[in-house]
Amino acid sequence: MSQPRVGFIGLGIMGRPMCKNLIQAGFPLTVWNRSRPGIDTVTGYGAAAAAAPREVAERSDIIITMVTDSPDVRQVILGEQGVIHGVKRDAAVIDMSTISPAVTREIAAALKMKGVHMLDAPVSGGEKGAIDGTLSIMVGGEEPIFQRCLPAFQAMGKTIVYVGPTGSGQIVKLCNQVAGAVHLQAMCETLALAVRAGVDPHRMLEAVSAGAAGSWMLSNLAPRILKGDLNPGFMVKLQQKDLRLIMETADELHLPLPATALVSQLFRSVEADGGGDLGTQALITVMEKLANIRVAG
């Protein structure tokens, strides 16, 4: 039985390796991107290029979008040359971006009017997870459509969880970002305390990371800070976009998220200092200024 034809829209840091893994798993792939370098890279892996999202949809059974924010997803799916104008009845559209749950439901409703299914399937794991095919993928939508698309998810990720109806995938991703952001701040404060107290931060990390307070941030980003490496795996400006989505959703739900709100303001300080394109570990620079200490490098 031949693999379903997959279309992929959005060939950035995450999209390119995800496409490579789909091709290696045997999926025929058609791609589109707003800029040429991403298209050139992925056609080099063996994909075919399309002239617009509409054409991607015309040539695909499953259409995946992986772009920056809610307006971008709305544009590539519902815009003038969007997916909705070329997609076939009973096809599946999978948005793997991190966007507003409310916008997800709006787009899903528009696609449903054309007999098209939508899954919201944001990811966690960053560029390394995309390259290694080990992403964590949280999926909302109709469960039978999730099962239909599972082989494509398995080509890109390792932990794939169906979490509920449309919009649930985005909610779970926002939960992930709450935990990640607060852990980032905890990691920065941990380093600051060790440095100010004169304790070797490398030895502190070795001890703390192995215990109950260990975290992905301590194990992966803290060592990069100590090397002075603030290059992005995930950019500050994208973290801020996710934190904005979290606070908007919390506002709709009348839910207080005090720690998340604080971290958002601290990241705003990083952005104000020109650090929007740095990795999220650049949050340490705020602690350095507040405490008048040097931690990075």
The three-state secondary structure class of 157 is strand
Tokens 């390259």 belong to which residue?
131
| Nearest C-alpha neighbor of 152 from the set 11, 56, 27 | 27
- Distance, in Å, from the CA atom of 141 to the CA atom of 20, rounded to the nearest integer, reads 25
Q: Maximum distance among all alpha carbons in the chain?
A: 65
The answer to whether 179 and 172 are in contact (CB under 8 A) is no
Q: Quick: pLDDT tens for 54-107.
A: 999 999 999 999 999 999 999 999 999 999 999 999 999 999 999 999 999 999
CATH superfamily, with its number, for domain 6-165: NAD(P)-binding Rossmann-like Domain (3.40.50.720)
Residues pairing with 93 in the sheet: 63, 118
The answer to whether 115 and 89 are in contact (CB under 8 A) is yes
The amino acid at residue 35 is S
Statement: residue 216 has pLDDT above 90: yes
**What pLDDT shows up at residue 126?**
87
Name the residues annotated as catalytic: 173
Region 39-59: mean pLDDT is 98
The three-state secondary structure class of 292 is coil
Statement: residue 278 has pLDDT above 80: yes
Region 183-210: mean pLDDT is 98
The amino acid at residue 275 is G
DSSP one-letter code for 148: H
Q: Burial letters for 257-278: b for 16+ Cβ neighbours within 10 Å, e otherwise? A: beebeebbebbeebbeeebbeb
Q: Quick: pLDDT tens for 154-180.
A: 999 999 999 999 999 999 999 999 999
Statement: residue 6 has pLDDT above 90: yes
Q: Residue 233: which pLDDT band, with cuts at 50, 70 and 90?
A: confident
Dihedral sign, Cα of residue 50, residue 53, residue 59, residue 64: positive
Tokens 């390394």 belong to which residue?
128
Total residues belonging to the chain: 297
Q: Quick: pLDDT tens for 99-147.
A: 999 999 999 999 999 999 999 999 999 888 999 999 999 999 999 999 9
The answer to whether 130 and 153 are in contact (CB under 8 A) is no
What average pLDDT does the chain have?
97
CATH superfamily, with its number, for domain 171-291: N-(1-d-carboxylethyl)-l-norvaline Dehydrogenase; domain 2 (1.10.1040.10)
Q: Burial letters for 183-208: b for 16+ Cβ neighbours within 10 Å, e otherwise? A: bbbbbbebbbebbeeeeebeebbeeb
DSSP one-letter code for 14: T
95 phi and psi, to 5 degrees?
-95, 120
Region 209-238: mean pLDDT is 95
**What pLDDT shows up at residue 1?**
62
Q: 101-112 vs 70-78: helix axis angle to the nearest 10?
A: 10
Residues carrying CATH 1.10.1040.10, the chain: 171-291
Residues carrying CATH 3.40.50.720, the chain: 6-165
Beta strand pairing status for 62-65 and 92-95?
A: parallel
Q: 258-272 vs 168-197: helix axis angle to the nearest 10?
A: 70
- Distance, in Å, from the CA atom of 269 to the CA atom of 197, rounded to the nearest integer, reads 25
